[in-house]
Amino acid sequence: MYLIKSPLLLKWYYPSLTWHKSRDQKVIYLTFDDGPIPDVTDFALKTLKSFNAKATFFCIGDNIHKHPDIFEKIKNDGHRIGNHTFNHLKGWKTPDEIYTKNFQKCQEITNTNLFRPPYGKISLFQARHLRAAMKGRKPKVIMWDVLSADFDKRITKEQSLQFVILRSLPGSIVVFHDSEKASEKLYYALPKVLHHFSKKGFRFLSL
């Protein structure tokens, strides 16, 4: 089970996490989880560049090891990098020590203060201990307020597009996935989202 739009109660319970940015400007923050992956991440980068858009990529450490050239391309194109653990661990089902070590292993490669917990699931204990794992840097745990659900085989690519179009607001943090599982919906929805909001005067910035 997942929610397309993050509920207010959840934001109230986890106030230290970032759910969206300022609503005062026409800016949308696109984010991509689970890469880098050949072809899929390349498509995202090419499409973003065609709209002069910047984004944030929450990368899995193991995928960085497998595809370092694509990881470097993300950075060279001017996008932000976020930590998404080394092995895409689910915080609620992983012992704290194992979770922290896995986070640290990815941190050694990404060297960032941005972190998104896989599946959006992290315990309060794990969240509090990120600062020590980042060696004194102030961590920013990035959640979202709009989920494209591009990973879900039960929905169509048209539905995925509408989830983003209808629910995004100024300051929204939107989640896509640059993974093979999500590729069909990403290929369909991303260009249309960029086109739709660009016509309305929105900019796309990294976090």
Rounded Cα–Cα distance for residues 47 and 151 (Å): 19
3-state secondary structure of 137: coil
- Work out whether strand 173-177 and strand 146-147 pair parallel, antiparallel, or are unpaired: parallel
Residues in the chain: 207
**Is 177 designated active site?**
yes
Catalytic residue among 79, 88, 177, 178: 177
3-state secondary structure of 146: strand
Cα-trace Rg, the chain:
16
Helix residue ranges, H only, 2-95: 8-13, 40-50, 61-66, 68-76
Catalytic residue among 33, 34, 150, 178: 33
Per-residue exposure over 21-58, b if at least 16 CB sit within 10 Å of its own CB, e if not: beeeeebbbbbbbbbbbeebbbbbbebbeebebbbbbb
Which residues are known to be catalytic?
33, 177
